[in-house]
Structure 1
Amino acid sequence: MTSTTKKTQKLPSEEMLPDAKGYFGPYGGQELPPHLKAIMDEIADAYLKVRETAAYQNELKDLYQHYVGRPSPIYYASRLTEACGGAKFYFKREDLNHTGAHKINHALGEALLAKHMGKTKVIAETGAGQHGVAMATACALVGLPCEIHMGAVDIVKEHPNVTKMKILGAKLIAVESGTKTLKDAVDSAFEEYVKDPDNFFYAIGSVVGPHPFPMMVRDFQSIVGKEAREQFPAMTGELPDYVVACVGGGSNAMGIFSGFMDDASVKLVGIEPCGRGLGKGDHAATLTYGKPGTMHGFHSYMLQDDTGEPDPVYSIASGLDYPSVGPHHSYLKDLGRAEYHAIDDTACLDAFMKLSQLEGIIPALESAHAIAWVMREAKNLGPDVKVLINLSGRGDKDADFVAEKLGL
């Protein structure tokens, strides 16, 4: 197994990050013109105030329990463990949440904040459609109009989620520019947002973007890590040896990592998409093969050309094909607190089918990347090693695409 060569340092508790300017070490910030920076600061101030109120916390807690169905359980996958012949597989079942993924955790928080701020419309981007469905759901719940921007390629791949968004009342904008995938959907959504930032709320779908979104989305997703940190010892008598999650923008990974950040014995591992290979436009393994750069209003690791412009990216999992990554992940990489690896499409599809046929759980293609890495490393890790994988979403959205891809 490849491991980081950098010295691991104890990281301050996640509540201590970012700093007042939105930086995680050298990453993050607000790389924006002054008028947009003022809008972001307004959102940050409103969030920091409202999150401390009992009314907001109680409403969100009630929705997590009675609407989302939290806490999500942890499941020991005995048949997959036996088949792989090594480390024990445990899954944090975010796929069982209402809307089928972890995205609802932050979607509810953002929708409630938008309503508190008196915004008149919520705008969001989506790749695999899970963030889009979650935001459409949350906006229906709080009574706000919702506009979702989605790349034309992803609309074809993720048709079931497109239908759900429309049923939920969201306005869907098909993005035909660029590669017609997630990065272009972000560009399109942001262009619409800046037309009236005083009245519109841009609900970013991951731990990316300018401050306060990397902090805010992480905070909402930290419910995953808090639950898992209590559940796993209660279930097994000890902490996991590894916590593994897929990484595109990085929200599900940051959510579960946050619960184990100060547990030095727990190795944190993020899995990126290696796609079709290492050619330009064939993968989206930002932390594995990128370098620091700036896009979409923040500084982080980035896949980029010689001029600093983002490279085209690809992943079989629409939710992972983004050329940058959350700044907190970049900081964790540099500190050596987390390590990051890449898995290709073939291994991802194999993991998708193995979990489906051995455990009766159809995972999202995004989550299947994390599963594939553990399947590959299981024998090397050994039978005494316990691995907790964040099963970030279910694969209903991917089933038809995978069946066509594999000729089923």
Structure 2
Amino acid sequence: MKRFDFAPMPTADGYFGDYGGQIVPPELKQIMDDIDRAYEEIRQQPEFQAELAMLHADYVGRPSPVYLARRLSEQLGGARIYLKREDLNHTGAHKINHCLGEALLAKYMGKTKVLAETGAGQHGVALATACALVGIPCEIHMGQVDIEKEHPNVTKMKILGCKVVSVTRGTATLKDAVDSAFEEYLKDPVNSIYAIGSVVGPHPFPKMVRDFQSIIGREAREQFLAKTGTLPDIITACVGGGSNAMGLFTAFLDDEDVRIVGVEPAGKGLDTPDHAATLSKGRPGQLHGMKCYVLEDAAGEPLPVHSIASGLDYPGIGPQHSYLKDLGRVEYDTATDDECLDAYMTLSRVEGIIPALESAHAVAWAMRTAPTLGRDQSILINLSGRGDKDADYVAERLGL
């Protein structure tokens, strides 16, 4: 008997328990429903499935391998640490998984423009890549702070033919980029599509992005069984909006003996305002067309948030994560900026693998946890992206 009795995820109207939904202006309700209907149509088509499978294999380079980090495991003692190498995908992160799906959906729907936000730039690069592949113009909104911090990705987007819009309002980071891109989308929602970069936003995006990302967990479960004859004791991933985490977690939700841990950014510390630990410190609210946990002030306005990782500094969280937290199926812990930097450098120098700062949060949690476990136990980390985009920033920060 399973330990958890899951409700449908999501329901027909886009709810994961009490979270999710479609909190949009009336004029957008039909647009969202049209996207949902087109998605449900296209996902059933053998031609679409065949094209996506071909692109996964021949364009992205899937399946991404599961790698035993032997030297890191030996150095830490305790549990064996494995990495699901999404950093080896074309464009360097998990983002290409859903961007290909969204670009193909836009083409199927006859859209003439794709809009999106990006934080660290990985979603922006992946979407610009996918749009170049299918031949649809792409416009990416990015906070000015992140543009300066992640400039290599900005250059890539421009080379790929993408229009990059600098957002200077507010904190000039991810939340403000979402606001800006959505406002542009509202100008012509009929001919354009907003390709949301995580499992957030109004229905059907949390469902759709999760489905496209779930290939991570399906592969990882099969690969781990083939390598070890058993399932991992713990799986873990960083959590901002939550797409890479949900991509890994989905395949393991029914495996009651697998402990599942999402790692949020504690920034400069949970006792300071400079963090983005939404599930650890937030409360249920509304943001960007959905009900979810939100970091907000007494007036219900989203708080400014902080993380060393641009892709994690978001004051909300995917509605399915919110539901799984309340249900108790997934644990949510945190890692600080300093722990993240230590993990970034340790994995680089011990295994020769430079992780994205986002992914380094999950590595940091595993490094903290592995020594407390037995050598017969295992931790599988979703290494969601590579860290070349962060190298100059880290080098300057650490004085290398």
TM-score computed with the length of structure 1 as normaliser: 0.97
CA contact (8 A) 1:12 1:262 kept: no
Indicate whether 1:66 and 2:61 are aligned.
Answer: no
Q: Equivalent residues in 2 for 1:203-352 (5 A)? A: 203-278=195-270, 281-352=273-344
Runs of 4 or more off by more than 3 Å in structure 1?
none
2 CA distance for matches of 1:272 and 1:243?
14
SS at match of 1:101: coil
1 CA distance for matches of 2:32 and 2:245?
24
With over 3 angstroms needed to count, the CA separation of the structure-2 counterparts of 1:11 and 1:143, relative to structure 1, is farther
The Cα shift of 1:86 comes to 1.2
SS at match of 1:331: helix
The Cα shift of 1:280 comes to 6.0
1:350 partner letter: D
The Cα shift of 1:279 comes to 5.3
The Cα shift of 1:9 comes to 4.0
Listed one character per residue, the Cα deviations across residues 259-280 of structure 1 (whole Å, up to 9, x for unaligned) are 1110000011000000012356
Q: Equivalent residues in 2 for 1:347-358 (5 A)? A: 347-358=339-350
1:199 partner letter: N
CA contact (8 A) 2:263 2:335 kept: yes
With over 3 angstroms needed to count, the CA separation of the structure-2 counterparts of 1:312 and 1:31, relative to structure 1, is same
From 103, 116, 125, give the equivalent of 2:117: 125
With over 3 angstroms needed to count, the CA separation of the structure-2 counterparts of 1:400 and 1:269, relative to structure 1, is same
From 10, 16, 20, give the equivalent of 2:4: 10
Cα root mean square deviation, aligned = 1.0
Listed one character per residue, the Cα deviations across residues 286-318 of structure 1 (whole Å, up to 9, x for unaligned) are 001100000100000110001111010010000
SS at match of 2:379: strand
SS at match of 2:180: helix
The Cα shift of 1:380 comes to 1.2
Listed one character per residue, the Cα deviations across residues 45-95 of structure 1 (whole Å, up to 9, x for unaligned) are 110111100111111111001000000000000100011111110000000
Percent identity over the alignment is 70
Listed one character per residue, the Cα deviations across residues 159-208 of structure 1 (whole Å, up to 9, x for unaligned) are 11011000000000000000000000000000000000000110000000
2:333 partner letter: H
CA contact (8 A) 2:370 2:379 kept: no
2 CA distance for matches of 1:230 and 1:257?
13
SS at match of 2:214: helix
2 CA distance for matches of 1:79 and 1:283?
31
SS at match of 2:165: strand
Indicate whether 1:147 and 2:139 are aligned.
Answer: yes
1 CA distance for matches of 2:3 and 2:330?
10
Q: How many pairs were matched up?
A: 399
Q: Is there any run of 5+ residues in structure 2 with no aligned partner, and where?
A: none
TM-score computed with the length of structure 2 as normaliser: 0.98
1:202 partner letter: Y
